[in-house]
Amino acid sequence: MTVDERAEELASDLGVDKEEVKEDLENLVEYSVPIDEAVQSLRRKYGDGGGDSGSTLSKESIDEITTADGNVTVTARVLNVGKRSIRYQGSDQVIYEGVLADESGTIDYTAWQDFGLSPGDTITAGNAGVREWDGSPELNLGESTSVAFEEETLDVPYDVGGEADLVEIETGDRGVDAEVRVAEVERRTIDGRDGETEILSGVLADETAKLPFTDWDPHPEIEEGASVRVENTYVREYRGVPSINVSEFSTVESLSEPVAVSERGTRLSIGDAVEAGGVYDVETVGHVISIRDGSGLVQRCPECGRVIQKGQCRTHGEVDGEDDLRVKAILDDGTGTVTAVLGDELTEQVYGGDLEDARDQAREAMDQTVVADSIRERVVGREYRVRGHLSVDEYGANLDASSFDEVADEPADRAADLLSEVNV
C-alpha cells in the first residue's frame, strides 16, 4: 500500500481529516520511521490505543505476549538502549528503543519518554502497550506506563549491550555499538526537512563484513581510513541491505589501534545470505543453473535506464531504447538460489565480446536472443565465485555482481575440494 492509501485507511478508521493524517504520515516516513510504526504513532496521536486498551494483563514471560494483547505488565532485563529523535506531531521527539529479554525470549520496545533505562537494568514495566510490527509484538512504554527498577538481576541467556560485529547487524537493530574502519566516506548536501544539511555517507568495515552508513550529524572522527568506535547507532534498510545510521545522539571515538578489515567479501552460503534479508558485499559460490529472460543484448529506456520490452518502457511508454549488455544468471549452491545480475563489463567477459560484437551477431541472425544463447552455452552448468551486494525483495533475491569468476580458474581451491571429497 502507498502512503496515500495508508493515510486514507487510517483517516477513515479514526474519523479524522485525511489530508492532516497524510501530512503527518509523510513527515514520519520522510524521517525514516517505518510505515507501520508511523501508523501506530498516528493512531496514538488521534486517540486510538491501537488495539484493546481496556485491561492490563500481567505476563509471566515475554514469550506469552501476543499481538492480540492490549496492555501488559512484564518483568525483563534491558539488553540495549538506543536513543534517537523522530519528528512527531510537528516537533522533534526523542525516543529510546531496544530489546527487553527474560528467560523465555526477547521483545523490542520503544520508550516515548526518558525512563532512565540502561543496558543491564532489570525492570518491571507496568501497563506497557503492545503493538504489532512485522507480525510480531513490540512494547510501547509511554505516558501511562510505569517503570520500576528491580534490585534482583534477572538472568537471561542473551548478551547485554549493543556490541556487534558488522556481519551480525540486521535491519531494525537499535542501540548498536561497533568498532570499525571507515572504508569509504563522502560528504554530501541533502535537502532535508529543515533545509539543506550536510551528511556523511560511505562504507564501514571490520573483519567480518562491510556495511553502508549515513552520519546525519557529521562527526569529525569519521574520515577515510580512520578506525573508530561508534555507539548508539540504529540500522535501517537502504537499497535492500542493512545500513548503519549515526545520529546526533551517537558517540564516535577514534581508536589508536587500527581495526582489522577483510579484503574479501563476507563469505556466506546463498541460503544464509538470503535468510539474512540482504547482505552488503557478500561472496558466494554456486553453479549457474540457467540464464533468465532479459539477458544478453537488451535495450534500456533513455529516461530511467530500465530494460524495456519491444520499445515500451513501463513508465515512459514508447521510447527509443539504447543497446546494452547484461546477464541475469540463476546461481544455486544447494542451500538456495539467487539471481546474479552482471553489468556490461562482466557480461563482456562471460560473452567473450563487446556491444559491437553482440550487435553484429544479432544482425547476422536477425534475432537478438542469439546473444543470450551464446552466454547460456558458456556459463550454464559451471561453477562461479560471485561477489557483490545481495538484496531480497518480493520477487526474490538478487546479487548485483562486482566480480564473477569461474571457480575452475582457482587450482588451489579445486585441489582442496578434491582432497575433502577423497577424505570423505
Q: Which is nearer to Zn ion, 68 or 304 (CB)?
A: 304
Provide, rounded to whole angstroms, the least separation between the CB of residue 320 and Zn ion. 11
Q: Is 301 in the site for Zn ion (CB under 5 A)?
A: yes
Q: Which is nearer to Zn ion, 99 or 301 (CB)?
A: 301
Out of 316, 363, 382, 414, the only residue in the binding site for Zn ion (CB under 5 A) is 316
Cβ atoms of residues 127 and 73 within 8 Å: yes
Provide, rounded to whole angstroms, the least separation between the CB of residue 314 and Zn ion. 7
Q: Which is nearer to Zn ion, 266 or 299 (CB)?
A: 299
Q: Is 315 in the site for Zn ion (CB under 5 A)?
A: yes
Measured distance between the N- and C-terminal CA atoms of the chain, rounded to whole angstroms: 52
Pairing type for strands 266-267 and 251-254 reads unpaired
The residue number whose beta carbon is nearest to Zn ion equals: 301
Out of 304, 365, 416, 418, the only residue in the binding site for Zn ion (CB under 5 A) is 304
Helix (H, G, I), strand (E, B) or coil at 113: coil
Helix or strand holding residue 416 (H, E): helix 411-423
Nearest Cα to 368, choosing from 290, 299, 270?
Answer: 299
Provide, rounded to whole angstroms, the least separation between the CB of residue 321 and Zn ion. 9
Q: How far apart are CA 273 and CA 188, in angstroms?
A: 30
Helix (H, G, I), strand (E, B) or coil at 348: helix
Provide, rounded to whole angstroms, the least separation between the CB of residue 131 and Zn ion. 39
The per-residue DSSP string of 154-216 comes to: PP-SS--S-B--GGG--TT--SEEEEEEEEEEEEEEEEETTEEEEEEEEEEE-SS-EEEEEES
Provide, rounded to whole angstroms, the least separation between the CB of residue 322 and Zn ion. 11
388, amino acid identity: G
Q: Which is nearer to Zn ion, 187 or 316 (CB)?
A: 316
Site for Zn ion in 137-166 (CB under 5 A): none
Q: Which stretch binds Zn ion (CB under 5 A): 12-20, 119-127, 178-186, 316-324?
A: 316-324
Out of 150, 170, 303, 409, the only residue in the binding site for Zn ion (CB under 5 A) is 303
Question: Would you state the cell numbers that stand for residue 338, as one nine-digit string?
Answer: 539467487
Q: Which is nearer to Zn ion, 92 or 322 (CB)?
A: 322
Residues within the interface to Zn ion (CB under 5 A): 301, 303-304, 313, 315-316
